[in-house]
């Protein structure tokens, strides 16, 4: 059983490395072509950024394999041995939190490199060491408090309920929905300053746009995203009455009113087409599969690793192997998501006009340095949005490839 699991993980790592290799080669060749969509200078910068991030991704994947070998080889057994808490529930919470923190430490060098070297080199990151430390401390406290409570709940279900994996899935899925509801009003403000939109004319236009699809929101806000990053973005956050329209200050600075409204119209298209519920259903399906698989792992697997099958070792196994399940679900999610994006583009064009949305997409690509070409295999596995060339063509823009 352990050999089978190891082979599956190796195939997962090999697949990711192969896809990154193909993408690097494709982009390196494509950057020699005449620039499309992006300005010539941004076209080259976007290609170089893409190649750099994929190289880092390959290294990260290899480290992921080393971490896997560490945990399976002796890490799980070692962690179980050094945590000598007698209360089984408390031990499980401390064990899983320790597992998460150790995993974070393995990934930390990559995050530091991307934030302070790679993203600064390409003009994205405005992050300071002080802000990074503050963000990290806040995130760790939230992980310990909220994560600890969730782990405690799962452990209690495992200890007291038959077919724990069914009710564990229900519990975790419900927690995710609650977090989505409270995120824009309780969690996001911990990291960013939210301010009501001051431009009354733009605010009135946005409210009119929301009313056209029958959406009531908690308000229209801007956030100080530029203190961390120069990329442009906007989103509708929350579920139910907690929905907020959130505009990055960078977006307001770079897009004119028709372009900005067309981008929001695109996001409203997702609401109108109920895409969020489709995404929730698909996420729930994937989670159900994960809980089913790990609710039926044989004792022999745990014996082979050198640990007893307990709530905390089961949760650790879930955290180790869930990325494999989600990775091979990604092409399905991607196909559905890309179809949804075309529908949202159509709605965004109708809510404003196609040229405004097309201009906005091109500005976003230029400012975010998003390279407009990718290898088909990379698109198949990773793209949740259709390639920009295809989106612009559907909006009536002629693109010379």
Would you call 275 a catalytic residue per the annotation? no
Neighbours of 109 (CB within 10 A): 12
Q: Is 375 left (phi over 0), alpha (psi -120 to 50) or beta?
A: beta
267 as an active site residue: the answer is yes
199 closest CA partner among 116, 274, 256, 262: 256
Structure tokens at 260: 């900005």
Residue 280 CA: distances (Å) to CA of 181, 277, 313: 13, 5, 28
How many residues does this entry show for the chain?
Answer: 401
Sign of CA dihedral 333, 334, 335, 341: positive
Provide the pairing of β-strand 244-248 with 234-237. Answer: antiparallel
Backbone angles phi, psi at 248, to 5 degrees: -70, 140
- Active-site annotation holder among 64, 80, 259, 267: 267
| Active-site position among 23, 275, 341, 345 | 345
What's the Cα-to-Cα distance from 150 to each of 76, 93, 156, 224, 281, rounded to whole Å?
21, 9, 10, 30, 21
Dist CA 371 CA 367 (whole Å):
11
Cα separation, 309 vs 300, in Å, equals 9
Q: Known catalytic residues?
A: 267, 345
């Amino acid at each position: 059983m352990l050999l089978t699991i190891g082979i599956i993980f190796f195939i997962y790592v090999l697949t990711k490395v192969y896809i990154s290799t193909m993408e690097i080669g494709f982009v390196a060749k494509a950057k020699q072509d005449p620039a499309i969509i992006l300005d010539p200078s941004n076209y080259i910068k976007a290609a170089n950024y893409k190649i750099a991030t994929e190289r880092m991704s390959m290294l990260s994947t290899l480290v992921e394999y080393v971490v896997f070998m560490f945990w399976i080889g002796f890490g799980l057994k070692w962690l179980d041995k050094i945590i000598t808490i007698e209360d089984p529930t408390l031990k499980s919470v401390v064990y899983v939190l320790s597992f998460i923190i150790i995993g974070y430490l393995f990934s930390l060098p990559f995050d530091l490199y991307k934030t302070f070297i790679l993203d600064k080199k390409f003009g994205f990151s405005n992050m300071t060491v002080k802000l990074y430390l503050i963000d990290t401390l806040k995130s760790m406290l939230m992980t310990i408090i909220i994560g600890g409570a969730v782990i405690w709940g799962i452990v209690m279900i495992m200890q007291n309920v038959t077919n724990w994996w069914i009710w564990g899935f229900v519990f975790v899925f419900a927690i995710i929905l609650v977090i989505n509801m409270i995120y824009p009003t309780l969690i996001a403000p911990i990291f960013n300053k939210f301010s009501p939109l001051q431009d009354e004319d733009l605010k009135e236009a946005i409210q009119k746009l929301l009313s056209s699809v029958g959406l009531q929101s908690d308000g229209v806000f801007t956030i100080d995203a530029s203190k961390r990053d120069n990329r442009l973005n906007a989103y509708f956050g929350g579920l139910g009455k907690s929905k907020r329209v959130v505009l990055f200050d960078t977006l307001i600075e770079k897009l004119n009113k028709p372009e900005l409204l067309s981008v929001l119209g695109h996001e409203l298209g997702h609401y109108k087409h109920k895409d969020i519920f489709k995404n929730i259903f698909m996420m729930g399906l994937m989670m159900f599969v994960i809980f089913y698989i790990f609710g039926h792992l044989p004792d022999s697997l745990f014996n082979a690793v050198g640990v007893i099958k307990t709530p905390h070792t089961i949760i650790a196994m879930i955290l180790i192997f869930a990325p494999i399940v989600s990775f091979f679900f990604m092409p399905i999610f991607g196909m559905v998501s890309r179809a949804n994006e075309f529908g949202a583009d159509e709605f965004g064009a109708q809510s404003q006009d196609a040229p405004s949305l097309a201009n906005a997409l091109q500005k976003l690509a230029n400012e975010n340095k998003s390279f407009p070409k990718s290898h088909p295999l990379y698109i198949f596995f990773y793209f949740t949005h259709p390639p920009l060339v295809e989106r612009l063509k559907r909006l009536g823009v002629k693109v010379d490839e």
